[in-house]
């Protein structure tokens, strides 16, 4: 596709968490235009049923493809756990990149043999998580915590607040007592509180953000399918099923974006439409 615009990448999450993946995609694939959907009418996804998250994910994917996305990054561990397999079947011509908790690198790198995973209840319930633990964490103790309420704090931009600290201390202190030397961030919202996590666990504990590996996988699929091209001419586009002005504030706070293009989407039953 030399000379034409590089393929557009569709990205979605329940809210602002997927912006941690956007950050990595922009670093590694700056020539690709991104289209992002934050399903903030339904955030958090974590406590919802897998069926419900699967239905949201299918419709958001349909919307992104209709807008011209050539590859879709499911920048949400919960949606990946609930829907990735299903999306690949429903949209067989579309390449997908999903999130899976980075248990494999954690198990390879741990010296103490004890690792902690922070993710949502739905992610822990999904088959994907069971399968990565089964395949890659033999002989390693894997401790888990769902950090109830943390996604809400991050959505509200309270990245250093008292409540976020309380939730993280409650999750991480027992893990530290049991000897963790590695923390896996199994929710795309959590990289935004890495400074707080590092304050709690100290410098001897490694914190794994899977976003760079996900961006590398997207780069690999784009190259394999010949979807690279000339530098893009248009800015990235962000939609939310919540309030576009709030999303704009989050983009400025989390990504340092000066004038992001945000728009509104509305759920009409199970269908999404653009708010004019």
Size of the site for ligand DGL (CB under 6 A): 17
Least spacing, CB of residue 198 vs ligand DGL, in Å: 20
Round to whole Å and give the CA distance between 94 and 148: 34
Please list the residues that pair with 206 across neighbouring strands.
182
Query: Is the CB of 113 or the CB of 121 nearer to ligand DGL?
Result: 121
Element containing residue 31 per DSSP (H, E): none
Instruction: Please name which of 39, 29, 97 lies closest in space to residue 239, comparing C-alpha atoms.
Output: 39
Question: Of 34, 37, 46, 63, which one interacts with ligand DGL (CB under 6 A)?
Answer: 46
Check residue 182 for interaction with ligand DGL (CB under 6 A): no
What residue ranges in the chain does DSSP mark as E strands?
8-13, 34-38, 69-74, 96-97, 114-118, 141-145, 182-185, 206-208, 237-240, 261-268, 271-275
Catalytic residue check, 187: yes
Measured from the CB atom, the residue of 44 and 244 that comes closer to ligand DGL is: 44
- Exactly one of 76, 79, 171, 251 is catalytic; name it: 76
Which one, 100 or 257, has the nearer CB to ligand DGL?
A: 100
When asked if residue 146 is in the footprint of ligand DGL (CB under 6 A), the reply is: no
Per-residue b or e along 71-84, where b marks 16 or more CB atoms closer than 10 Å to that residue's CB: bbbbbbbbbbbbbb
Q: Considering only residues 73 through 112, tell me which ones interact with ligand DGL, judged by CB under 6 A.
A: 76-78
What's the Cα-to-Cα distance from 83 to each of 49, 50, 146, 217, 242, rounded to whole Å?
11, 8, 19, 18, 22
- Catalytic, 147? Answer no
Listed ranges 9-17, 85-93, 219-227, 251-259: which one lies at the site for ligand DGL (CB under 6 A):
9-17
**Among the options 117, 187, 193, 215, which is catalytic?**
187
Nearest to 44 by CA among 126, 155, 210, 144: 155
Q: Rounded distance, CA 9 to CA 34, Å?
A: 5
| Residue whose CB is less far from ligand DGL, 15 or 260 | 15
| Residue whose C-alpha is closest to residue 153's, from 142, 138, 141, 163 | 163
Residue 11 structure tokens: 């990205």
Q: Is 250 in the site for ligand DGL (CB under 6 A)?
A: no
Structure token digits, residue 273: 């439409």
Q: Which of 187, 197, 221, 265 binds ligand DGL (CB under 6 A)?
A: 187
| Identity of the residue, 105 or 148, whose beta carbon is nearer to ligand DGL in the bound complex | 148
Residues 157-176 interacting with ligand DGL (rule: CB under 6 A): none
Tokens standing for 6? Answer: 């590089």
Smallest gap from Cβ 80 to ligand DGL, in A, equals: 8
Q: Which range binds ligand DGL by CB under 6 A, 184-192, 201-209, 212-220, 261-269?
A: 184-192
Catalytic residues: 76, 187
Interface contacts to ligand DGL, rule CB under 6 A = 13-15, 17, 43-46, 76-78, 120, 123, 151, 187-189
């Amino acid at each position: 596709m030399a000379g034409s615009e590089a393929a557009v990448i569709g990205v979605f999450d329940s809210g602002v968490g997927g912006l941690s993946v956007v950050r990595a995609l922009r670093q590694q694939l700056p020539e690709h235009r991104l289209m992002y959907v934050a399903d903030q009418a339904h955030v958090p996804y974590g406590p919802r049923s897998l069926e419900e998250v699967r239905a949201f994910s299918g419709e958001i994917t349909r919307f992104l493809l209709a807008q011209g996305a050539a590859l879709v990054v499911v920048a949400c561990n919960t949606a990946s756990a609930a829907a990735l397999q299903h999306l690949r079947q429903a949209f067989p011509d579309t390449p997908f990149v999903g999130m899976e908790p980075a248990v494999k690198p954690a198990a390879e790198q741990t010296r103490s043999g004890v690792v902690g995973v922070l993710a949502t209840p739905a992610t822990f319930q999904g088959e994907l998580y069971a399968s990565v633990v089964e395949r890659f964490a033999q002989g390693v103790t894997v401790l888990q915590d769902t950090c109830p309420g943390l996604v809400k704090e991050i959505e509200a931009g309270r990245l250093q607040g008292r409540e976020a600290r309380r939730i993280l201390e409650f999750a991480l202190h027992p893990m530290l007592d049991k000897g963790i030397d590695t923390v896996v961030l199994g929710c795309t919202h959590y990289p935004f509180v890495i400074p707080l996590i590092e304050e709690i666990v100290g410098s001897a504990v490694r914190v794994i953000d899977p976003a760079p590996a996900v961006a590398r996988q997207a780069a690999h699929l784009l190259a394999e399918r010949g979807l690279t091209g000339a530098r893009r001419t248009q800015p990235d586009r962000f939609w939310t099923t919540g309030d576009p002005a709030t999303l704009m504030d989050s983009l400025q706070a989390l990504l340092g974006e000066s004038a992001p293009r945000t728009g509104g989407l509305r759920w009409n039953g199970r269908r999404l439409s653009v708010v004019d």
